[in-house]
Amino acid sequence: MTLRVGVLGARGRMGLEVCKAVDAAPDLELVAMIDQGDVLFSASDNHAEVLVDFTTPDVVMDNLRWAIERGISAVVGTTGFTDDRLAQVRAWLAEKPEVGVLIAPNFGIAAVLMMQFAAKAARYFESAEIIEQHHPRKLDAPSGTATRTAQLIAAAREEAGLAPMPDATKEEVDGARGASINGVRVHAVRAAGLLAHQEVIFGTDGELLTIRHDSLDRVSFMPGVLLAVRNVQKHPGLTIGIDSLLD
Ligand SMILES: NC(=O)C1=CN([C@@H]2O[C@H](COP(=O)(O)OP(=O)(O)OC[C@H]3O[C@@H](n4cnc5c(N)ncnc54)[C@H](O)[C@@H]3O)[C@@H](O)[C@H]2O)C=CC1
Ligand SMILES: O=C(O)C1=N[C@H](C(=O)O)C[C@H](O)C1
C-alpha cells in the first residue's frame, strides 16, 4: 500500500523538489500537484492522504484550513508562523482530532542539529547573535529558521537566568543592529549565489563559538520532508519541527 501525497506550491523551487522526491519513493504516490489554483496533475480516483505545502506565508493558512476541514493531514515548510497563527491551527485541529499537521521551519537534518546545538550552547555565553543568509528571491526576513533559533536561544537564556546581553551601542541608522527576536539580534543577508545559510555567534570573555549551517542544494531538505510525510498521520494534532521524529 502506498501513501497518497499531494503537493501545494508544486511549481515552486521547493515544490518541484518535493514532487521529484515523492515520485521517487516506492512507498509514496504523488496524486496531486497544485500551484496557485492550477491543478497541474491529479490522479482523480485517489485523493491525497497527506498534503505538503511549500507556498507563501500569505496563502498557507487558507490551505491548511482547507486540508484540516477535509480531514487531510499536512506537512508544512512554508514560513510565517507566528504564535497567533499556530493558535489558530490548534483551534482548527481541535475540531478534527484525528488530523496531524507538522510545521517545520527547516527540514534539513543538519539545520535541525544546528538549532539543537545553539539551544544547548546558549546558557554558557553572555552574547548571542544570528546571521542568516539567503537567495534574493526569498520573500520573507528574517527566515523561519533564524526566528526559531532566536526563540530557542532566548528560552534557554531565560531558563538559565541570564542577564540581558551586554550592548552599549546606539543605532545611528535604523536597523543597523538587525531585528530583535525575544532579545536576540538577527541579521538577514540576501545575495545572488546564496541558497540558505546561517551562523549563530556566541561570545563570552576571551572565547567565541560559531555554529554554521549551509544548505547548498534543496535536496538537503528532502529526507526531512519525506520523514514527516511518512509519520504525520501517526501524530495527530500540531507538531513543530521534525526533532521528535529524529529521536
Ligand atoms: N521548511 C523548510 O525546510 C523550507 C522552507 N522553505 C519555505 O517554503 C516556502 C516556499 O519556498 P520556495 O519554494 O523557495 O518559494 P517559491 O516562490 O519558489 O514557491 C512558492 C510556490 O507557491 C505557489 N503558490 C502561491 N500561492 C499558492 C496557492 N494558493 N496554492 C498553491 N500554490 C501556491 C507559487 O506560485 C510558487 O510556485 C517559503 O516560505 C520558504 O521560506 C523553503 C525551503 C526550505
Ligand atoms: O526560503 C528559503 O529558501 C528557506 N526558507 C526557510 C526559512 O525561512 O528558514 C528554510 C531555509 O532557510 C530555506
Eight-state DSSP code of residue 190: E
Residue with CA nearest ligand 1 atom 3: 106
Ligand 1 atom closest to 14 (CA): 13
Binding site feature residues: 9-14, 35, 77-79, 104-107, 135, 144-145
Sheet of 196-204: strand order equals 179-181, 184-190, 127-134, 196-204, 207-215
* pLDDT tens figures, 18-50: 999 999 999 999 999 999 977 766 766 678 999
According to DSSP, the residues that pair with 39 across neighbouring strands are 34
Distance 95 CA to ligand 2 centre (A): 30
DSSP 142: S
Q: What is the pLDDT of residue 187?
A: 98
How much distance in Å is there from the Cα of 133 to the middle of ligand 2? 9
| d(C-alpha 113, C-alpha 173), whole Å | 35
Are 140 and 80 in contact by the 8 Å Cβ rule? The answer is: yes
Q: What percent of the chain has pLDDT over 90?
A: 95
At 37 the pLDDT is 75
Amino acid at 64: L
pLDDT tens, position by position, 118-152: 999 999 999 999 999 999 999 999 999 999 999 99
Measured in Å, residue 230 CA sits from the centre of ligand 2 at 22
Provide the CA 18 distance to its chain's centre, in angstroms: 15
CA–CA distance, 86 with 108 (Å, rounded to integer):
21
Kindly give the number of the ligand 1 atom that is closest to the alpha carbon of 62.
29
CA 27 to ligand 1 centroid distance, Å: 24
For the annotated binding site for (S)-2,3,4,5-tetrahydrodipicolinate, the residues are 135, 144-145
List the beta bridge partners of residue 6: 32, 51
Q: CA-based Rg of the chain, rounded to a whole angstrom?
A: 19
Pocket test for ligand 1, best of 7, 11, 13, 14 (most atoms within 8 A of CB): 14
Supply angle C-alpha 226, 97, 155, rounded to 5: 65
C-alpha pair distances (Å), 60 with each of 35, 75, 103, 215: 12, 11, 11, 23
Q: Pocket residues for ligand 2 (CB within 6 Å)?
A: 79, 105-106, 134, 138, 143-145, 196
| ipTM for the assembly | 0.99
Q: Is the peptide bond before 142 cis (omega within 30 degrees of 0)?
A: yes
Q: Which residue minimizes the CA distance to atom 1 of ligand 2?
A: 138
With a cut of 50, list the residues of the chain below it in pLDDT. Answer: none
Nearest one of 128, 193, 177 to 120, comparing CA atoms: 128
Ligand with an atom nearest the CA of residue 6: 1
Beta pairing partners, 50:
5, 73
Dist CA 139 CA 137 (whole Å): 6
Atom of ligand 2 at shortest range from CA of 105 = 9
Q: So which residues are the catalytic ones?
A: 134, 138
In angstroms, the CA 175 to CA 180 distance is 10
pTM exceeds 0.90 for this model = yes
CB-based contact 77:52 (threshold 8 Å) = yes
pLDDT at 45: 66
Residue closest via CA to ligand 1's atom 9 equals 78
Cα of 191 to ligand 1 centre, how many Å?
19
